[in-house]
């Protein structure tokens, strides 16, 4: 068996498998002996001639694994027959951190699956992919999972067979197992290590690393208050932050910082692990700037760590708000080595009014802004993740009144909290 799979195989039969269909995860498990269980939901609509496969990306090099998984979908959509249906899937050990392995579930409706199996065999020869096929029993109900052995075997024999059985949904959404220092970074060093490993494959990563401050500078406490303004696009952040700058005689900073602008478009196309590390390090650059400006004057910051974390958590976890990490989870804690602001204000706005303002702007939207517009569940997850972040927590302000009224309300908060 290939070395890359050895780490997962000893606990293979203890793993749960999740397949995303129509925005909701469907779960199944495997067992070595047949105990007469019903058919898992993911297989109930599979037709008699359909063939099913799973591909799980396994590698100890998490940067390579992230890059390969990110590019695998396009490769499969390009090379597979059009009759094939692809769904995101994962495999995990319940309640075991960092046990999540991502991949794809494939339903092949071709009368002959030979071309599909040739492609899967090629993938397993050189790439970090673990392939399973799923076969229906003669009674039409019982399904078995066949774990492929190394693809250099021309007969494509399998190493072991398991019976497929339904599984209850886990206590927590499986994506939460891998959020810490993968989707959200909680220290300078963890984010730094990811970009450092990218140096050989992403030249832009080296340029970003050259801009980074020391960890001491990123948490230096300034003499003057630091006020962060958060909120979704078109809630009035720019108007408010500029008004606060003028009213308080403050410095105005933005996160991600301007110095990262030349590379943002590139990193927005990278896998989440690399993209999130890039934006996490942007917060530390902003923190250094806050420390310098905050020695002379109050500082207003347009977005900071709350945005980075809230969007990442809401993207990693699918489905309704109840799938988010529980309130009080360590995933909402502020990084211990990142400067904490004196006050964080989040502007909220009715969704329809926010859409109207976006239309009036006529600006291009980010991928995440498109998701906010078309996916109500994603918007609700982002808003709830904002609310749950602590250290410091956000103070909510209604942004629907005229801009001068919003300004006065925020000034009252600042004078009460920061004594300005």
Residues 10-27 have pLDDT tens digits of 789 999 999 998 877 899
Task: Report residue 5's pLDDT band, with 50, 70 and 90 as the boundaries.
Answer: low
CA dist 93 and 173 (Å) reads: 12
Selection from 48-52, 213-217, 276-280 with the highest mean pLDDT: 276-280
Residue 357 has a pLDDT of 74
- Contact 230/301 with Cβ under 8 angstroms? no
Residue 1 has a pLDDT of 40
Q: Classify 158 as helix, strand or coil.
A: strand
Task: Report residue 367's pLDDT band, with 50, 70 and 90 as the boundaries.
Answer: low
Strands 343-348 and 226-231: parallel
- Tokens representing residue 159 in the block: 């190493």
CA dist 264 and 326 (Å) reads: 31
* CA–centroid distance for 168 within its chain: 24
Q: 181: buried, middle or exposed (CB in 10 Å: 19+, 13-18, 0-12)?
A: buried
Closest among 341, 58, 344 to 222, alpha carbons compared: 341
User: ∠ CA(227), CA(285), CA(409), 5° rounding?
Assistant: 10
Place of tokens 């046990």: 99
Residues forming a β-bridge with 26: 19
Q: Which residues of 6-25 are buried (b: 16+ CB within 10 A; e: fewer)?
A: eebbeebeebbbbbbeeeeb
Residues 101-133 have pLDDT tens digits of 999 999 998 877 788 888 888 888 777 889 999
Residue 7 or 301, more confident: 301
Residue 127 or 151, more confident: 127
Whether pLDDT at 147 is above 90: no
Task: Report residue 408's pLDDT band, with 50, 70 and 90 as the boundaries.
Answer: very high
Give me the CATH topology for the region 179-418. Answer: Rossmann fold (3.40.50)
Q: 274: buried, middle or exposed (CB in 10 Å: 19+, 13-18, 0-12)?
A: buried
- Contact 120/53 with Cβ under 8 angstroms? yes
Residue range 325-331: mean pLDDT, rounded:
94
Residue 370 has a pLDDT of 60
Determine phi and psi for 302, rounding to 5 degrees: -85, 100
Residue range 271-279: mean pLDDT, rounded:
96
* CA–centroid distance for 315 within its chain: 5
Residues 156-194 have pLDDT tens digits of 444 578 999 999 999 889 999 999 999 999 999 999 999
Place of tokens 């492929």: 148
Residue 159 has a pLDDT of 58
Please give the DSSP secondary-structure letter assigned to residue 224: S
Residue range 351-361: mean pLDDT, rounded:
75
Residue 158 has a pLDDT of 46
Whether pLDDT at 88 is above 60: yes
Residues forming a β-bridge with 333: 390
Rg (CA), the chain: 24
Whether pLDDT at 352 is above 90: no
Residue 196 has a pLDDT of 95
Task: Report residue 87's pLDDT band, with 50, 70 and 90 as the boundaries.
Answer: very high
Residue range 223-234: mean pLDDT, rounded:
92
Residue range 342-348: mean pLDDT, rounded:
95
Selection from 163-172, 178-187, 220-229, 370-379 with the highest mean pLDDT: 178-187
CATH 3.40.50.300 residue ranges of the chain are 179-418
Residue 172 has a pLDDT of 87
CA dist 221 and 101 (Å) reads: 40
The overall average pLDDT reported for the chain is: 87
Strands 299-302 and 251-254: parallel
What is the DSSP secondary-structure string of 16-30? EEEEEETTEEEEEEE
Alpha-carbon torsion (90, 120, 202, 364), positive or negative: negative
- Tokens representing residue 272 in the block: 């989440």
Task: Report residue 151's pLDDT band, with 50, 70 and 90 as the boundaries.
Answer: very low
Residue 279 has a pLDDT of 96
Residues 6+ apart with CB under 8 A from 115: 81
Residue 354 or 321, more confident: 321
């Amino acid at each position: 068996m290939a070395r890359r799979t050895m780490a997962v195989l000893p606990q293979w039969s203890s793993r749960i498998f999740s397949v995303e269909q129509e925005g909701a995860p469907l779960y199944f498990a495997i067992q070595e002996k047949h105990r007469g269980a019903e058919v898992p939901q993911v297989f109930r609509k599979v037709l008699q001639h359909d063939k099913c496969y799973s591909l799980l990306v396994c590698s100890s090099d998490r940067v390579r694994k992230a890059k390969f998984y990110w590019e695998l979908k396009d490769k499969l959509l390009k090379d597979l027959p059009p009759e094939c249906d692809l769904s995101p899937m994962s495999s995990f050990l319940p309640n075991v951190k960092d046990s999540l392995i991502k991949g794809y579930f494939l339903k092949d409706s071709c009368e002959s699956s030979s071309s599909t199996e040739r492609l899967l065999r090629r993938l397993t020869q050189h790439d970090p992919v673990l392939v399973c096929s799923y076969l229906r029993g003669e009674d039409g109900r019982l399904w078995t999972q066949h774990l492929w052995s190394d693809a250099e075997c021309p007969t494509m024999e399998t190493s072991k067979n398991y019976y497929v059985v339904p599984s209850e949904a886990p206590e927590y959404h499986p994506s939460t197992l891998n959020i810490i220092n993968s989707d959200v970074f909680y220290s300078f060093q963890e984010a730094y290590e990811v970009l450092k490993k990218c140096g050989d494959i992403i030249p832009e990563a080296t340029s970003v690393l050259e801009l980074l401050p020391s960890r001491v500078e990123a948490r230096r406490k300034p003499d003057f208050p630091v006020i962060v303004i958060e909120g979704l696009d078109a809630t009035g952040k720019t108007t408010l932050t500029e008004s606060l700058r003028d009213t308080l005689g403050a410095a105005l900073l933005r996160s991600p910082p301007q110095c990262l602008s030349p590379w943002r478009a590139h990193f927005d196309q990278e896998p989440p692990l690399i993209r999130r590390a890039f934006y996490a390090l942007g917060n530390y650059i902003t923190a250094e700037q806050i420390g310098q400006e905050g020695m002379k004057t109050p500082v207003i910051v347009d977005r900071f760590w709350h945005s980075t974390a809230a969007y990442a958590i809401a993207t990693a976890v699918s489905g309704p708000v109840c799938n988010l990490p529980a309130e009080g989870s360590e995933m909402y804690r502020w990084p211990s080595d990142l400067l904490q602001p004196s006050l964080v204000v989040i502007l909220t706005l009715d969704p329809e009014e926010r859409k109207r303002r976006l239309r009036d702007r006529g600006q291009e939207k980010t991928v995440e802004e498109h998701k906010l517009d078309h996916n109500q569940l994603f918007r609700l997850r982002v808003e709830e993740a904002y609310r749950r972040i602590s250290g410091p927590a956000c103070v909510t302000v209604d942004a629907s009144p005229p801009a001068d009224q919003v300004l006065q309300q925020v000034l009252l908060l600042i004078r009460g909290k920061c004594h300005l």
